[in-house]
Amino acid sequence: MMAEGSLRSVSDADERLSQARTSFVTAAICAGFAVFFFYMRGVFPIAYTFFFVAVPILLALVFLTLGFAEIARQRRGVLMHVEPEGLALYPFVFPFHVSSISSFFLMSCGPIALLLFLIHPDAISGLILGFSYSFLGYTMLKMTEYRPSRIHRSPLITLGPDQLSIQPLLHDNPTRIGWDRNPQIEGFELFVAANEPHQLMHVSTRDSEDALVFEMRGMPICYWQLARLINHFVAHPEDRTTLGTPQGPQLVTDILTAG
């Protein structure tokens, strides 16, 4: 566990985890790559034209989609679902579906290359390139733990009258923290391990010296919003009874828009 002073703050975590800029830059690079090889298409066989033009264009569209999805997530506000347990926040899993689709597309490049090879038998290097793309797609799909089939369909965060529940994407059951334990976000660990970015949120409670640690990938709102909600319901127990009622979403909106 990291020392408390080594943890990233809530605001720092929000800033570092915004992927819109990175997605747009990557899309621009892919598009530039495609344009360059489009003008050079007369030099290469048709298989190279497909793999060096069509594939980068499709990847550019993927990253553009991810960038705009991130902007939409940041601007759409807090989407709360009223459930018997309280107000539920479901995870933002769209990027994981896009990543999975991209992997399947890359895996399809091998059969496409084989078809092109049957049409143009001289394109042996294109055949090798196509199956290299397929291997890359297969590796991407197998290396990631966050495949859509492994992600639960339950809320990531539930704000209930008696407790706060957190269920990371790959966990079968939520961790429940009673409001009387005074949960508080202490900070975040942000790092990459095994080609997977990790967002570990440390939550302290008054009855334990050790913080609870949650992997928060798929977070549908900003961390400052979550921190404000937790702090409010810890400090104002009279408002907790509203959670799980039709008035709950309006209360959350009022809390987040308060000065």
Q: Hey, how many other C-beta atoms are within 10 angstroms of the C-beta on 143?
A: 11
Residue 39: which residues within 8 A CB-CB, separation 6 or more?
A: none
Q: What is the pLDDT of residues 191-204, one digit of tens each?
A: 887 777 888 999 99
Print the SS3 string covering 50-105: HHHHHHHHHHHHHHHHHHHHHHHHHHCCCCCEEECCEEEECCCCHHHHHHHHHHHH
**Model confidence over 146-176: pLDDT tens digits?**
999 999 999 999 999 999 999 999 999 999 9
49, 53, 55, 60: CA torsion to nearest 10:
180
Torsion (CA) 53, 58, 63, 64 in degrees, nearest 10: 100
Within 10 angstroms of residue 243's Cβ, the number of other Cβ atoms is 26
Angle at 63 (CA atoms; ends 57, 69), nearest 5 degrees: 135
Residue corresponding to tokens 């992600």: 151
Whole-structure pTM value: 0.84
pLDDT tens digit sequence for 15-40: 777 777 888 999 999 999 899 888 88
C-alpha–C-alpha distance, residues 152 and 168, integer Å = 9
Instruction: State percent of the chain over pLDDT 70.
Output: 95
In this structure, what token pair is assigned to residue 60?
């550019």
Query: Which whole number is the average pLDDT over 64-73?
Result: 87
